[in-house]
Structure 1
Amino acid sequence: MSKHLSSGVVLFNARGEILLCHATQTRHWDIPKGMGDPGETRRETALREMREETGIVLAASRLCDLGEFDYRPDKALHLFGVRTAAGEIDPARCVCVSLFPSLRDGRAIPEMDAFRWVAPPDVARFASRSLGRLFAHSLPLDALFARLEAF
């Protein structure tokens, strides 16, 4: 079975917390990520998904390429990391413009409906098992935060 590839951004604030987005009509919180459009690079996909799912616009030069990771049996993630300055990003100002049909009534609703900073030890409480496992085993958040300081 071939895997689908999504690209996304692990966005840190100055305190080492990551931005998580609540996936509408689910229990899970996620990072901004998604499938590429035809002709897009992985970096372009990650930037577009960040913009569509949060309203945050980042310069491509700010993204540190973290590589590709197994996510689920049918999906891999190509991730980029960014470390922001204190006060640069306010989750209360985030807005998702990416819409999909509601499973309840078919009306168009935002893909993400809430945003928050989450400390690395708390990510597994909010995120799906797949995302929690990725950060616990393949991409430890504390080490990633330290790595991005030099980027």
Structure 2
Amino acid sequence: MNGKTVSCGIVLLDPEGRVLLAHATGTDHWDIPKGQGETGETEVQSARREMVEETGIDVSAARLVDLGRFAYRRDKDLHLFAARALASESDLSRCVCVSMFPRRHDGVMIPEMDAWRWVAPADVAQYASRSLTRLFNTALSLTELHRRIETA
């Protein structure tokens, strides 16, 4: 064990190759749906649960392409899966986040994510953290991933 936490997530791409990003409530960060596993969960189970909790979208395990583990930050790695969004999953106005946390200044429970958008690979840096942008610009090209899952 290298002491790093591992977050599991799904890179969901629409038919145009745009990636689904979710806005972290109370921040200026947008991220892919991801999070740490719960005891006894496999990586794919964790990724699927996080996607449902943060977006309401349930991507079946059969649709997922296992991309493997990536260095993300000094203290965290990501285990990522990819899928192509179905037509029924493209309408982001239907997204809902059921994962709640206490707001820092008053303890009121608020959703972890509060907005969703499809973002073109060239525009990811405008929304995503430096760590996620670096990952997509180096180890995991969204353009190459789009081509890869097109044929999967």
Aligned equivalent of 1:6: 7
Q: Which amino acid aligns with 2:132?
A: L
Aligned equivalent of 1:30: 31
1:136 aligns with 2:137: yes
Q: Distance in 1 between matches of 2:18 and 2:87?
A: 11
Aligned equivalent of 2:115: 114
- Write the deviation string for residues 21-54 of structure 1: whole angstroms up to 9, x where unpaired: 0000110100000000000000000000000000
TM-score scaled to structure 2, two decimals?
A: 0.96
The structural deviation recorded for 1:20 is: 0.4
Q: Distance in 2 between matches of 1:75 and 1:104?
A: 27
1:56-75 matches, within 5 Å, as 56-75=57-76
Q: Distance in 2 between matches of 1:61 and 1:45?
A: 15
2:57 touches 2:89 (CA, 8 Å); kept in 1? no
Please state whether the residue corresponding to 1:138 is helix, strand or coil: coil
Identity of aligned residues (%): 58
Please state whether the residue corresponding to 2:138 is helix, strand or coil: helix
Q: Distance in 2 between matches of 1:123 and 1:73?
A: 21
The structural deviation recorded for 1:85 is: 3.6
RMSD across aligned positions (CA)? 1.0
- Write the deviation string for residues 89-136 of structure 1: whole angstroms up to 9, x where unpaired: 211110000001111211100000000100000011100000000000
Unaligned runs of 5+ in 1: none
How many aligned positions are there?
A: 151
Shift of the 88–53 alpha-carbon distance from structure 1 to 2, 3 Å rule, reads closer
